[in-house]
Structure 1
Amino acid sequence: MKKILEKKSHQISFPFFILLILFTFIISCNGQSKIKSNKNNKIQSKTTNDKPPSSLFFVEQNSIPNDTFAPLYYKSQLCHWVRNIIQDKKETLWFGTNHYGVMRYNGKYLEYFTPEKGFGGTRTTAILTDYEGNVWFGNSGGITKYNNRSFTNYSEKDGLISNEVWTITIDSNGIIWVGTSDGVSCFDGKKFTPFPIPKAVVNNTESVISDNRISIILADSKGSIWFGTDGYGICKYNGKTFTHYTTDNGLPDNNISDLMEDSKGNIWIGTMYGGVSRYNGKLFSNFTKNGIVNGIEVGGLYEDKKGNIWFAAENNGVYRYNGKSFTNFHKKEGLTTNGILSIFEDNQGRFWFGGWKGLFRFDGKSFTYVTNDGPWEK
C-alpha cells in the first residue's frame, strides 16, 4: 500500500487512505473478504465467503469520481437490493435479492439460499406460489421450484427459451408463464413450450429498450394473459387472439415495468417513462400525466386487503390510493430510499417494502428499516 501511495500520492488523499485501512481491518477481523492486486498495484478483485452482511466494496485506483463510494454493508444489514416479497402457504416469508439469491424467514430465523446451496441464480426477479404450495422463483439462471424440501432448477438445457428470467406467473389452469430476455415460455409441469408474442407497430422505435424482453406477465381473472414489453407496449392474449395497447391507444408509455389487476377488474400499469395508469376495459386514466402523482418510473403495484392500491414512484417514495385520493409516503415517514421495487402485506397484516436499500416495515404511519435482527414479529 505504501508503494501505491508513493506512486499515486496526488490521487489518493490521506483521509481516504485511513478510511480504506479501517475498512480493510474490519473485513479482516470478520474473515469474510480479501483483496487482490495485480503486478501494477491495481486492485483486481475480491472474494467473500458468500455471506451478504459485513461485505466491503472494492475500488480501483482513479475509479472513485467526486469522492463517491459504492454501498457499504455493515454486520447486521440485509442484502442491499430486495426485488420481490411473497408469503407461502406455511406463512414463510421469501425475499428475492439482486445478488444473493433468495432470503427466507420462517418465523424463527433468516436464511439465504444461493447457487452454492442449490438455488438457480444469484438474482431473483420473481416469486410465486402454485396451487400445490410449491414456491417458484424466476432468476438469473432460469426458474427454480421449491417443494418445501429441496430446489429443482430449470434452464435452457430443459427447454426454457432463455436463462435470463424477468417475470413468472401462473394461470387458472396451473400453466406457468415465464417472461425472459428472449420472449416467453410456457411450462405445464413437464415441458417448456415457446410462446411467440407478436410485436405491435410503434411510431417511436427509439424508446425500444429490448426487442424480445418481456418485463412482466399478468394472468387476469377473466383468463387473459397480459404481456408487458420494453418498448412495444402491452400485448393481451385471450386464448385465441392478441390485442395490442400502445401510446396510440392511450397508454402513457410503451415501456412497461409492472402490471396488476385489482379486485374490481381494473388493470393497473406501471411504466418506465410515463408514470402510472389504470385501464377499466375501455379507457386509460393516466394519474401521472394529469399531475395527481409524481414520478415517471413506476413499479411495485400492489393491492392490500382493504382494497388500497400501492405503488412506488422513482424519487417520490410510495403512493397509496384509497379509491378517492392518493397519499404519498417519503423520507419524512422514514422511507430512506428512492427506489422501492416490491410491496407486500402478509397474513399477519404486516407491510413489507423492498428496494434499493434493503427491506422496510410499515406500521401505518412510519417506516422502519429491517436488519438481520429485525424487527420481524412486532
Structure 2
Amino acid sequence: MIKINFFTAIALSLIINSCSGQKSKNEIKESISSDKKLEKNKPNTSNSENFLFYSEINNQISQVVRTIFQDSKGIIWFGTQNGAFKFDGNSLIHIDSIKNESGKGVTIKDIAEDKDGIIWFGHEGGISSIDKKVVTNYYESDGLISNDVWCITTDKSNQVWIGTIQGVCKFDGKNFTSFELPQGEIDSTLGISSAKMVHSIFEDSKGTLWFSSNAGLFSYANNSLLNVSEAAGIQSNFVNEVFEDKNGELWVSTKNGLYSLIDNKAKNITKGKIETGKGIGSIAEDKDGNIWFVSNQHYLFIYDGNELIEYKKSDDNKGPVVFQILKDKDNETLVRWFWRCL
C-alpha cells in the first residue's frame, strides 16, 4: 500500500523523460508563509476568495485528487475531495468559498477556463466560478439541471457546458438551458451511475463539441448532433473521454478499450493486447507524440504509434487509482499524473 504524505498533485508528480520507464520525484521544499483569511460566506452569491496557505511539506491537500488544470496564466488548479486549490509556483491556496447549497464543502470533479479568464468548477454540489478573487456558486435553484456535476467546459462562444448525472445543460452567464442527449445505460460496475450520465465534454480545434456518455460518444457541430459510436463503430456505450493530439487526431477512452478516431472511423488499438477491466481512463500526449493512458484504473501505458508499452510503477504494478494524466504547458518532455491513495 502506497502512502502519500504531501499534496499528491505536486510533490509526487512523476517526471517522465522517455518511454523507458525512468522516473524521479519532483519535490517542492520551499517554505511557504502561513496565513489565513476568513470571510463570511453567503450561499449563491458572489464571495471574496477565502484562502489558506499551506506551510508544512507534510500537509497534503487531499488523499483524493480528482482533477488538475493549468490555466492560461500557468497557475495549476487542483480539484480534490477537500475542495479546490491553486498553486502559483510559490503558494498553495485553498479556495474556501466553493460550497454546496447547504454551505458545506464539495468534491471538485472538473475545472475549465473561459475566454475572459474566469475559472469554472464542476462539483458534487453544483458549479462555481472564480473571477479574479470573486467566487460565485450556482445550484439547481438557479436553473442547473442537477447539482451532481461530473464535467464542465467552455466553448469558443464563451458558453459553459455542464455534464451531470442527469444529462447536459449550458450556461450563458445568465440562464441555464437543457441540451438533450439520448438516454443510455446504467454502468452496474460503478458505485454511481445513471442512464443520463455524461463523463466528459470537449471542444476540439475545429469547434466541434464531443460528449462522452453512458449512451456512447456524440459530436455536435452546426446545430447537428451525431451518434459517433454508431457511425464510427465504437463498440461500447460507456465512453469516458475524448482527447485531441497535436496532429488533430482524436483518441477515445471507453469501457472496452482505447480507440483512435480518424475520418469518423474508430480503431480499438488495445483490443486483445491489454486488460481493460473497468476501462480506459485519462489520456495525454508527451512532446514526442507518444500517447499515455490509464487502463483499469491502476495501469499506465504508452502508445508510440506502433506498440503498447507498459510503464511499471512498482514490482507488482498495482499502483493507486489514477484519475488524470496532465502534460504541463512548458512543452517539456514530461507528463505528470495524479491519483487517489488506497
TM-score between the two structures when normalised by the length of structure 2: 0.73
* Selected match of 1:259 from 221, 238, 242: 242
Q: How does 1:270-289 map to 2 (within 5 A)?
A: 270-272=253-255, 274-289=256-271
How has the CA–CA distance of structure 1 residues 194 and 132 changed in structure 2, closer, same or farther, with 3 Å as cutoff?
same
Whole-angstrom distance in 1 between the partners of 2:171 and 2:327: 28
Q: List structure 1 segments (4+ residues) > 6 angstroms apart after TM superposition.
A: 204-208, 333-336
Matched residue, 2:22: none
CA distance in 1, matches of 2:113, 2:287: 18
Pick the aligned partner of 1:337 from 295, 319, 322: 319
What is the alpha-carbon distance in structure 2 between the residues aligned to residue 78 and residue 218 of structure 1? Answer: 27
Alpha-carbon distance in structure 2 between the residues aligned to 1:167 and 1:333:
34
> What do residues 157-185 of structure 1 show as CA deviations (whole Å, max 9, x unaligned)?
22111111111112221111111111111
The 5 Å alignment of 1:1-378 reads 75-97=58-80, 99-114=81-96, 117-120=97-100, 121-199=105-183, 209-230=193-214, 232-246=215-229, 249-272=232-255, 274-291=256-273, 293-296=274-277, 297-314=279-296, 316-332=298-314, 337-348=319-330, 349=332, 351-357=335-341
Displacement after TM superposition at 1:248 (Å): 8.2
- Deviation string 1:187-245 (CA, Å, 9 cap, x unpaired) is 11222111111347x9x998995221111112122222221112x21122223322213
Are the structure 2 counterparts of residues 131 and 249 from structure 1 closer, same or farther at C-alpha, using a change threshold of 3 Å? closer
Query: Contact 1:278–1:284 (CA<8 Å) still a contact in 2?
Result: yes
Task: Report the structure, 1 or 2, having the larger helix content.
Answer: 1
> Taking structure 1 as reference, are residues 265 and 290 closer, same or farther at Cα in structure 2, changes over 3 Å only?
farther
Structure 1 residues 324-365: Cα deviation after superposition (integer angstroms, max 9, x where no partner): 33332122389862421111122344532111229xxxxxxx
- Which SS does the other structure have where 1:157 is aligned? helix
Gaps of 5+ in 1: 1-50, 54-73, 359-378
Check the 8 A contact 1:142/1:154 in 2, yes or no: yes
Amino acid at match of 2:91: Y
Distance change (3 Å), C-alpha of 1:248 and 1:131: closer
Mapped to 1, the partners of 2:276 and 2:294 lie a distance apart of 9
CA distance in 2, matches of 1:210, 1:228: 13
* 1:137-163 superposed Cα distances (whole Å, 9 cap, x missing partner): 111111111112121111112211111
Aligned counterparts of 1:122 and 1:113: Cα–Cα separation in 2: 11
Q: Which one is further off, 302-311 or 256-265? A: 302-311
Write the letter of the residue equivalent to 2:77: W
- Post-superposition offset of 1:246: 3.5
Whole-angstrom distance in 2 between the partners of 1:85 and 1:79: 13
166-175 or 342-351: bigger deviation: 342-351
Instruction: Name structure 2 gaps, 5 residues minimum.
Output: 1-51
Distance 2:129 2:317 in 1: 33
Question: Measured at CA, do residues 211 and 315 of structure 1 come closer, stay the same or move farther in structure 2, by a change above 3 Å?
Answer: closer
Provide closer, same or farther for how the CA distance between residues 146 and 259 of structure 1 changes in structure 2, counting only shifts above 3 A. same
Q: Which moved more, 1:300-309 or 1:220-229?
A: 300-309
- The size of the alignment, in residue pairs, is 279
Aligned mates of 1:133, 1:88 — CA distance in 2: 8
> What's the Cα RMSD here?
3.0
CA distances 1:98-119 after superposition (whole Å, capped 9, x unpaired): x2011221212222234xx344
Equivalent position amino acid for 2:313 in 1: K
Name the amino acid aligned to 1:166.
Answer: W
Change (3 A) 1:239 1:252: same
- Structure 1: how far apart are the matches of 2:235 and 2:133? 44
Whole-angstrom CA distance in 2 between matches of 1:217 and 1:337? 28
SS at match of 1:212: coil
> Hey, what's the Cα distance between the residues in 1 that align with 2:282 and 2:329?
19
